[in-house]
Amino acid sequence: MNFKKNILCIGAGYVGGPTMAMIASKCPLYKVTVVDINKDKIREWNSDNLPIYEPGLDELVKKIRDKNLFFSTETDKHIREADIIFVSVNTPTKTFGQGAGKAADLQYWEKTARQILANSTGSKIIVEKSTLPVRAAEAMDRILNTKNDNIHLEVVSNPEFLSEGTAIADLENPDRVLIGAKQTPEGISAGKEIVEIYSHWVPRERIVESNVWSSELSKLTANAFLAQRISSINSISALCEKTEADIDEVGHAIGMDSRIGPKFLKASVGFGGSCFKKDILNLVYISQSYGLTEVAEYWESVVNLNEWQERRFIQNMVSNMFNTIAGKKIALFGFAFKSNTGDTRDSPAIYIARGLAEEKAQITISDPEALANAKKDLSDMEENIIYERDPYKAAEGAHAIAVLTEWDLYRNLDYKRIMRSMVQPAFIFDGRNILDHKKLFDLGFNVFAVGKAPMKQF
């Protein structure tokens, strides 16, 4: 079949895979190829067991794979063939040198840019899909256009706003798609080509065009605002615990104010995931590098509050379990950073498992999708941890349960049965406020929820 355009995506991760699957399914005349340096990942994308779990992803990929969606490791070849290249490689926080602990590590992005340059025999549009610091496109532009030939590689910013766990629904029906292009004839024309792709299914009024720098900064700012709301409600949750106000009642009351809105007002053990912390620290670093100390400190406090909330959760567990959890079995319900994903990157559960292990608790971790990743995250603690998919078995003989991920599964368990199988007095720490606390208390549990008065049997 003769395709209208060849699209390539470099990076077959949580963003590259689902995003390209959606583009391929909505644009049957475009050939979409996704490449990655990780051969195992590509093998999995081509198999029955995709490398990531996302509701609806399996069906979507299997419908179009090998029709106009392809997964490959032959990056150089596909760069040569591509008209449009999305770059969706990871941009983690730098762990070394200047900016360590805050700045984005751009080594994967830069390597990709150089590889694109080395293999390009014609002009192309290069799309920043990865989240990058403001003005990263400028640096990329310099690298990509160092050859003195007639090839022009135009950089366009198109940050991704999907949320893991609802990625397919978000991609199918996005609040907005943002496309940042340079305000030059080449930039404007490249921007239009990207608009054309999304116009296949996204209403035109939801496709927002801006300059490149606004687009880059909007992505960092969106994540910073979302995380800030979580830290804000979590800060109030601590006050609720001291005053017997109820965080769900407070969240409901303030969320009815149309200026505030009801979303992202649920108190919890803290936010996780590969993006919020990394992107805020990136914003902090950029602000610092422009001498904007107050701006940097303001955003850094969002991350600090989150870390404090995680620590507070552990301290609460220890102090309420008679100041010692040494030798006590504790079942963690959930390890993924949120429900409906197997992703555990920066999950609060990692920090909490480590904190409880330091107190010498015996930990059993249960999660429907994230156990493989949990094992990798805690690989240095193998002998101290048991992994058990079945929550009933995980809770057997435990002194306490800590709910760390808001999986629906945990709402509807037979807690009477669980209670009977636990050591008495039995404790439950609901780090996501998803359980029926009154019912659990009536069954005999000591119940501790975030931002609520404790319900103790003694």
Ligand X SMILES: NC(=O)c1ccc[n+]([C@@H]2O[C@H](COP(=O)([O-])OP(=O)(O)OC[C@H]3O[C@@H](n4cnc5c(N)ncnc54)[C@H](O)[C@@H]3O)[C@@H](O)[C@H]2O)c1
- Give catalytic residue positions: 275
State the amino acid at position 297 in one-letter form.
Answer: E
In the complex, minimum distance from the CB of residue 244 to ligand X, in angstroms, rounded to a whole number: 37
Within positions 30 to 69, which residues make up the interface with ligand X, using CB under 6 A?
35-38, 41
In the complex, minimum distance from the CB of residue 392 to ligand X, in angstroms, rounded to a whole number: 31
The candidate with the shortest Cα–Cα distance to 153, out of 78, 217, 82, 74, is 82
Spatial separation of the C-alpha atoms in residues 208 and 369, rounded to whole Å: 35
E strand or H helix at 8, and its extent? Answer: strand 5-10
Closest CB to ligand X among 85 and 236? 85
Closest CB to ligand X among 13 and 451? 13
* 103 part of the interface to ligand X, by CB under 6 A: no
* 275 part of the interface to ligand X, by CB under 6 A: yes
Spatial separation of the C-alpha atoms in residues 83 and 352, rounded to whole Å: 46
* 112 part of the interface to ligand X, by CB under 6 A: yes
The dihedral formed by the CA atoms of 13, 18, 21 and 26, expressed in degrees to the nearest 10? -150
φ and ψ at 224, to 5 degrees? -65, -40
In the complex, minimum distance from the CB of residue 164 to ligand X, in angstroms, rounded to a whole number: 4
Closest CB to ligand X among 131 and 405? 131
Both tokens of 158, joined, read 């198109």
Judged by CB under 6 A, the number of residues near ligand X is: 27
In the complex, minimum distance from the CB of residue 109 to ligand X, in angstroms, rounded to a whole number: 8
SS3 2: coil
CB contact at 8 A, 448 and 454: yes
Query: What is the DSSP secondary-structure string of 309-361?
Result: HHHHHHHHHHHHTTT--TT-EEEEE--SSSTT----TT-HHHHHHHHHHHTT-
Closest CB to ligand X among 160 and 241? 160
Closest CB to ligand X among 158 and 366? 158
* 90 part of the interface to ligand X, by CB under 6 A: yes
The mark string for 141-160 relative to ligand X (x by CB under 6 A, - otherwise) is -------------------x
User: Segment near ligand X (CB under 6 A), from 10-18, 316-324, 397-405, 417-425?
Assistant: 10-18
Given the rule CB under 6 A, which residues bind ligand X? 10-16, 35-38, 41, 75, 88-91, 108, 111-112, 130-131, 160, 162, 164, 274-275
